[in-house]
Amino acid sequence: MLEDTPLSIPVEGFDDSLPELSVFLDCDPHPTFIIPIDSHRPISFRLRFANRAFLRHEHWQTRIAADDAASAAFRAWAQALAHWRDIWDYEDCSWSAFTLHSKWKVIRMLPGSERPRISRQPSSEPKQKDVWDLQREASLADAQLKSLRCMMEMSDVGVFEYDLTGTLMRGSESWYKLSNHPRDLTAHQDFSFVDLVYPADVSLVISRWNKLLQKEPVTFEMRWKAPPRPSPTNPEIMEDFQWVLSACVPILDDAGELISIAGNTIDISAQKRIQEVQGRRIEEALEAKRQAQNFIDMTSHEVVDDILTLSKLDSNLILVTPVRVQPVRVVQEGIKIVSLECAKDDIELEFREDPSLQEVGGKWSMMDSSRFLQVLLNLLTNATKFTRDRPTRKITVSLGASFKRPPEIWDGVKFAPSSNKTRRDIRDDIEWGHGRKVYLWLEVDDTGVGLTEGEQSHLFTKFSQASPRTHVTYGGSGLGLFISKSLAEMHGRGCIGVRSQSDIGSTFAFFIGIRVAMDQGLEEVTGRPMLRRQQSIEARVRTAHYTILLVEDNLINASFVLAQQLRRAGCIVHVAGHGKEALDFLTTTRFWRGLENCGRDLSVILMDIEMPVMDGITACKEMRKLQHTGDVISHVPIISVSANARSGQVSSAREAGMDDSISKPFRLPELLPKIETLAKKWD
């Protein structure tokens, strides 16, 4: 009987649990023994335990010693174990083995009668697990669990598990370090993880928790609280959070019921900083591009205007159209435009009318006042620029006339050679009338820095200035005098020149060919259908008394040039300095809900595109939004005005809701038909 057979191999060096296992194995009817595992030595078969069934088996008693590595049986076992085989055959028995606590190898003999139970061939009948199989599976599961725990603790990824009340059940070392969650189990309270979250992200975390309770896995970014520290990307900003990425899954039992929430968390602060830097660089690049575009479209208005005028000159698109005007009034209007700038710089501005103008009967003349005014403003702007820093600051404008064309050198002024000596005299066209041909001259004398002989030779050519220091000190495009020369030559074969002394001052003079207006006025000069149509439009506009809102950031141009021209054409003109002021004005008009019968009248808005505070595109979009919401009760006609003739900007204006567009520089005869058309369409 088994009870009569004592253990011949005692338990040596076992863990506390192994004596209990030996008692269990002694009851096993199958021969079983245990040998130690030493990873630094070949497999040894010094027995540490053998149960009674093993010792009672006479066949094995005669062949197994306490240390017999040379026997055939042990060689077979050693070969099987070396290849990590769990089941192998030897003679008429099958043997199985498993590892216990990573230190012992348990080997068990299965007699031939039981060999089908361990056959490697698939069986249609399920295998019945005995205590031995369960013990072996438990040992394997324990080893796997230890391996997984070891890997988890060595990883930088924080691993955690929460119960359904939000209480932390367990967490890895990395998770505690990353989250700063207290390790004390008494601090593992319901929803203690909320205390870790940055206040702005608490609602996000709660929403993700609710999804997990619905058995949905989630992955999301959030911020955890952290001690305040300077931001690595901007030391001037203090950060009190860190970015983490968390992936969580619901843990279900065999019945599909939710039992806990498990997940992992990694620190992504470094990636977020990289994204922040990249995003900032992209924004800086886009801002630089936008500023460069604004510089072209907005900052250098005079350069854009000059380039557009130059382009029209090169394409022969500039027309000289005579109208009956008083030259003295035109000059006074130009002086008024620059008077504010001169007053600011303490520059004395004087106008002298030469008696010769009355002698030739030129009080009323046929001339293109807009082209004449453009040349005058170029000369006045230059004079102001070069005089403002001088000890003596004075600009004198003189206007006169002559029956004869001035000579090449006139009163010390040397006129520039004409670029087209074969140009015909446009005063012979019928719209100039039949008045006497005369020459109108104008001088702008200043006490500015003056010019040397060499510097004077560089004037009046395209993209050229007196000297390199001129642009550095005073700016400019080098086009103003060239354009002035071209306009003067077009206007009745005129010319422009200069008289100057360095450090004393300069006198710029030009003359144009005009005709004296006859007393019959316009009746004698309406021979062309185009002029008759224009006069008809002007007459209708004058009768209609259209109300115009002129939105322009250059209030000098708005108030004294275009506004005055529109008022002379019979329009009522209001002026706004930018898009925001235009929106404010709109709320006081008949277009605003509730003011249909008592609000200000408004026919058309002339909207400049490039303006500070609020540009024209944005203002137009806001007006269309108000129209859509019903605050503006009907369509507001808007004409875009821009110095930028690019088709892309015209398209942008149309897409924003502009009804029509016109490019600077333009003349009133081009604008009035657009105003009349829109005013009638949306009246």
Tens of pLDDT along 132-160? 566 666 666 666 666 666 666 667 788 88
d(CA 75, CA 73): 5
**Stretch 326-354: mean pLDDT, rounded?**
91
Q: Which pairing describes strands 604-608 and 638-642: parallel, antiparallel, or unpaired?
A: parallel
**Residue 647 pLDDT greater than 60, yes or no:** no
Q: Residue 458 above 80 pLDDT? A: no
C-beta of residue 349 within 8 angstroms of C-beta of residue 381: no
pLDDT at residue 59 in the model: 53
Per-residue confidence band for 397, with pLDDT thresholds at 50, 70 and 90: very high
Place of tokens 């043997």: 95
List of E strands, 165-217: 168-171
What was the pLDDT predicted at 332? Answer: 92
The whole-number average pLDDT for the span 195-201 is 88
User: In the structure, what pLDDT confidence band is assigned to residue 184 with cuts at 50, 70 and 90?
Assistant: confident
Can you list the pairs that 243-248 forms with residues at least 24 positions away whose Cβ atoms lie under 8 Å?
Answer: 243/267, 243/268, 243/269, 243/271, 243/272, 244/178, 244/268, 244/269, 245/219, 245/220, 245/221, 246/219, 246/220, 246/221, 246/222, 247/217, 247/218, 247/219, 248/208, 248/212, 248/217, 248/218, 248/219
**Residue 396 in tokens:** 């004198």
Please state, as a whole number, how many other Cβ atoms lie within 10 Å of the Cβ of residue 278: 10
Considering only residues 124 and 4, tell me which one the structure prediction assigns the higher pLDDT.
Answer: 124
The sheet carrying 660-663 orders its strands as: 572-576, 547-551, 604-608, 638-642, 660-663
Q: What is the fold, at CATH topology level, of the domain defined by 155-267?
A: Beta-Lactamase (3.30.450)
Q: What is the mean pLDDT of residues 387-411?
A: 90
Q: Check if the beta carbon of residue 617 is closer than 8 Å to that of residue 609.
A: yes
Identify the band that residue 443 occupies on the pLDDT scale cut at 50, 70 and 90.
very high
The SS3 assignment for 239 reads strand
pLDDT at position 83, please? 53
Q: What confidence tier does 165 reach under pLDDT thresholds 50, 70, 90?
A: confident
- The CATH architecture to which 2-147 belongs is 2-Layer Sandwich (3.30)
234-248, 596-610, 648-662: which has the highest mean pLDDT? 596-610
Smallest CA-to-CA distance from 483 within 405, 558, 406, 371 is with 371
Between 424 and 622, the more confident residue is: 622
Token couple for 273? 């900083």
For the cut 50, the answer to whether the pLDDT of residue 119 exceeds it is: no
Higher pLDDT, 526 or 438: 438
Segment 584-610 shows an average pLDDT of 91
> What is the average per-residue pLDDT within 512-539?
59
Higher-pLDDT residue of 671, 6? 671
Distance between CA 94 and CA 115 in Å, rounded?
6
Q: How far is CA 468 from the centre of its chain?
A: 38
CB 139 within 8 A of CB 99: yes
- Does residue 290 register a pLDDT over 50? yes
> Residue 73: what pLDDT?
56
pLDDT of residue 587: 94
Q: What value does the mean pLDDT take over residues 160-186?
A: 83
Band (238; pLDDT cuts 50, 70, 90): confident
Integer Cα distance of 371 and 491 in angstroms: 8
β-pair partners for 507: 445, 499
Tokens of 160: 């955690």
3-class secondary-structure state, position 462: coil
Answer with the residue of higher pLDDT: 373 or 66: 373
CA–CA separation, 80 and 107 (whole Å): 11
H/E element holding 293?
helix 269-294
Q: Is 98 helix (H, G, I), strand (E, B) or coil?
A: strand
pLDDT, position 247: 93
Please indicate whether residue 109 or residue 526 has the higher confidence score (pLDDT): 109
pLDDT bracket for residue 671 (50, 70, 90): confident
Question: Which candidate, 620, 621, 614, places its Cα nearest to that of 579?
Answer: 614
The topology under which CATH files domain 318-527 is Heat Shock Protein 90 (3.30.565)
CATH code, 530-681? 3.40.50.2300
Question: Nearest Cα to 107, choosing from 122, 119, 90?
Answer: 90
pLDDT band at 522 (very low <50, low <70, confident <90, very high): very low
Diameter over CA atoms, the chain: 156
Quote the CA–CA distance of 232 and 19 in Å, as a whole number.
60
In the predicted structure, residue 431 carries a pLDDT above the cut 80: yes
Average model confidence (pLDDT) for the chain?
A: 77
Instruction: Name the more confident of 636 and 294.
Output: 636
What is the arithmetic mean of pLDDT over 330-345?
89
Among 43-47, 137-141, 594-598, the minimum mean pLDDT is found in 43-47
What pLDDT is recorded for position 151?
67
Angle formed at CA 484 by CA 482 and CA 490, multiple of 5 degrees: 105
Q: How far is CA 292 from CA 18, 282, 308, 362, in A?
A: 83, 15, 19, 48
Mean pLDDT of 411-415: 88
Query: Is residue 2's pLDDT more than 50?
Result: no
CA-CA distance, 572 to 553, in Å (whole number)? 19
Greatest mean pLDDT among 22-36, 351-365, 527-541? 351-365
Q: Which of 72-76, 410-414, 589-593, 677-681 has the lowest mean pLDDT?
A: 72-76
Please provide the DSSP assignment of 330-375 as one string: HHHHHHHHHHHHHHHTT-EEEEEE-THHHHTT-SSEEE-HHHHHHH
As a whole-number percent, the residues of the chain with pLDDT over 70 amount to: 68
**Where along the chain do the CATH 3.30.565.10 domains lie?**
318-527
**Number of other residues whose CB lies within 10 A of the CB of residue 360:** 19
Calpha distance 574→602 (Å, rounded): 9
Sign of CA dihedral 579, 583, 586, 592: positive
Does 45 or 369 have the greater pLDDT score?
369
The conformation of residue 221, written as its DSSP 8-state character, comes to E
List, for residues 501-520, the tens digit of each pLDDT value.
Answer: 888 899 999 999 999 987 54
What pLDDT was estimated at residue 632?
93
| CA-based nearest residue to 665, from 642, 649, 634, 648 | 642
pTM: 0.40
Q: How far apart are the first and last CA of the chain?
A: 122
**C-alpha distances out from residue 425 to 60, 318, 493, 510, Å:** 136, 15, 6, 17
What are the φ and ψ backbone dihedral angles of 436, each rounded to 5 degrees? -70, 140
Residue 357, burial from CB neighbour count under 10 angstroms (0-12, 13-18, 19+)? buried
Q: Can you tell me the mean pLDDT for 97-117?
A: 64
Q: Looking at the predicted structure, is the pLDDT value of residue 494 above 50?
A: yes
Task: Write out the E strands in 149-280.
Answer: 158-162, 168-171, 218-230, 238-252, 258-267
